[in-house]
Amino acid sequence: MSTNATVYRNPLIILLATLSLQVSAVTSGDSQQPNIVLVVMDNFGYGEIGVYGGGVVRGAPTPNIDSIGQQGFQSTNFNVEAECTPSRSALMTGRYGIRTRQRPEGSPRGIWYGLTSWEITLAEMLSNAGYATGMFGKWHLGDAEGRYPTDQGFDEWYGIPNSSDQAFWPDSDSFQADSGVEFARVMTAVRGEKPQKKEVYGRAKRATIDREITDHALDFIARKANAKQPFFAYVPYTQTHEPVDAHPDYKGSTGNGSFADVLAQTDAYVGELLSIVDELGLTQETIFIFTSDNGREGIKRSFGSTGPWRGTMFSPYEGSLRVPFLIRYSGHIPAGQVSNDIVHLIDIFPTLASFVGGEIPTDRVLDGVDQSGFFTAKQSTSLRESVVIYIGNDLFGVKWRNWKMLLKDIDEKSYAIKNLAYPSFYNLIVDPKEEEPEKFYLDDTWVETPLYQVMEEHLISIEKDAGSPGD
């Protein structure tokens, strides 16, 4: 059992868990499909949890989250996209977010809006492989008919369609009821049925929703374990996106402010998810992942931590693009691994497909690579040496090994895009905060060649990619 886990609060969950303990585990042996629990935080920086230098120095220890890495694999160079929707798209499709914005003729889609029905999602791949698929939390990949999670491969969903900043609206003194703007609502859905709108997503609901998300996930895991069906529990929490409001049970609990309270709360909730897996006897049959969609919020009053890295979300710097990534698969992934080799969010799709024997689509470009051999220590290095960096539809630069080239910069106050007269080069080992561009040092000009090659190969791929046929 994981440390510091909170006792399950739902009697139905206790009953189902007890029943499940009386039957054989969902899966056993290397030939069986593992269950998957995937926890994704919202705007949660690199420096928040203990194994990344946070935890107690951030006002709240995180023993449960830390245990995932201690019992498995920790990446110190896990890369995502600079915004919520592109990151979630990349996770769901194994493709850079820019590809979802391509029209058939190859012209940019423009303003970002979710996934098209043409995309094959992680949930669809797993569903086709025989998995029960449940999502509990923030979607942010479409909020219209045909675009909800249960239209994209999930059997059931409880959560919010968009972003937590909408929780400010109902409590705003300037909100105008005759504006035609509707309050955001918590939603529930079952595959094949029209999603239902429930409570208004205001500040009070914002404080309790991650508790409810956890309860729904616990219930789903227990039900599917009892049915002896492999499951995919996708748990994209709403924290630590603004507003950072702790549950009443945790408000003031640390004495270190709301952010530390929410950090303690999140560690306890993750502990509950770990504990139900362990107590059901599914530890060696379950892949458990903890990560984030991007770095900390960009506004100054948000007190998130990016650790040693510069920048926030919506920037091309490591504080935006490098986040925690921990994966546990006991008996398969050796404990205590830590690596600074590059891994990207787009790699999760093909990696999980490899672990479960799922089919990868062959009628489109898949940017992700299968890292299962790397995580299980069958390969000594990552299969990825580079990533491309976009903000919106603009290509900002590329990373290759420990080097980064930026073609553009962003004003960290106004978010205005600034074109650079000359590219900036950074050695992320020597200069992790990206403070001193290497463009004036002649001894390092060799690195332009592999960096430009990464960019050119990507652009050629994009040019040949017709994208999804229609909207």
Name the band, by pLDDT with cuts 50, 70 and 90, for residue 220: very high
Query: CA end-to-end span of the chain, whole Å?
Result: 46
Mean pLDDT of 89-94: 96
Distance, in Å, from the CA atom of 148 to the CA atom of 115, rounded to the nearest integer, reads 9
Share of the chain above pLDDT 90, in %: 74
Predicted local confidence at residue 291, as pLDDT: 98
3-state secondary structure of 158: strand
Convert the pLDDT of each residue in 147-158 to its tens digit.
Answer: 899 999 999 999
Alpha-carbon span 36 to 132, nearest angstrom: 10
- CB of 26 within 8 A of CB of 230? yes
State residue 80's pLDDT score.
Answer: 98
Across residues 441-457, what is the average pLDDT? Answer: 89
Minimal CA–CA distance to 160: which of 185, 178, 194? 185
- pTM to 2 decimals? 0.92
Residue 205 clears pLDDT 60, i.e. is over it: yes
Under the banding of pLDDT at 50, 70 and 90, the label for residue 468 is low
Helices (H) and strands (E) in the chain, counts: 11, 15
> What is the mean pLDDT of the segment spanning 77-91?
95
* Amino acid 211: pLDDT: 98
**Structure confidence at residue 393 (pLDDT):** 84
Query: What pLDDT, on a 0 to 100 scale, did the predictor assign at position 380?
Result: 97
Residue 25 pLDDT: 38
Judged against a pLDDT cut of 90, whether residue 22 lies above it is answered with no
Identify the pLDDT of residue 27.
Answer: 38
Q: Which residue has the higher pLDDT, 32 or 42?
A: 42
* Mean of per-residue pLDDT scores for the chain: 89
Q: Which amino acid is at 195?
A: P
CB 377 within 8 A of CB 334: yes
Comparing C-alpha atoms, which of 428, 368, 369, 371 is closest to residue 397? 428
pLDDT digits (tens, 9 = 90+) for 160-189: 999 998 888 898 889 898 898 889 899 999
Active site residue 140: yes
Q: How confident is the model at residue 118 (pLDDT cuts 50, 70, 90)?
A: confident
390 phi and psi angles, rounded to 5 deg: -120, 150
Interval 135-158 mean pLDDT: 94
Phi/psi at 56 (nearest 5 deg)?
-60, -35
Q: Return the pLDDT at 116.
A: 83
Mean pLDDT confidence for 233-248: 96
Among residues 4, 82, 44, 9, the alpha carbon closest in space to that of 325 is found at: 44
Q: For the residues 115-127, what does the mean pLDDT come to?
A: 93
Lowest mean pLDDT among 123-127, 142-146, 371-375, 446-450: 142-146
Q: Is 458 a catalytic residue?
A: no
Domains delineated in the chain: 33-385 (3.40.720.10), 388-464 (3.30.1120.10)
Instruction: Considering only residues 438 and 372, tell me which one the structure prediction assigns the higher pLDDT.
Output: 372
pLDDT-derived band at 114 (thresholds 50, 70, 90) equals: confident
pLDDT band at 440 (very low <50, low <70, confident <90, very high): low
Q: What percent of the chain has pLDDT over 70?
A: 89
In the predicted structure, residue 471 carries a pLDDT above the cut 80: no
pLDDT value, residue 91 = 97
Residue 26: what pLDDT?
38
Q: Give residue 21's pLDDT.
A: 45
Q: pLDDT tens for residues 376-432?
A: 999 999 999 999 999 988 999 999 999 999 999 988 777 789 999 889 999 999 999
Average pLDDT of the residues in 186-211: 96
Q: How far apart are CA 60 and CA 50, in angstroms?
A: 9
User: Is a pLDDT exceeding 60 seen at residue 105?
Assistant: no
For the beta sheet containing 394-400, the strands, ordered from the edge strand earlier in sequence to the opposite edge, are 386-391, 394-400, 403-410, 417-427
Q: Say which range, 6-20, 61-75, 236-250, has the weakest mean pLDDT.
A: 6-20
pLDDT at 101: 66
When pLDDT is averaged across residues 83-104 and rounded to a whole number, the result is: 85
pLDDT class for 37, splitting at 50, 70, 90? very high
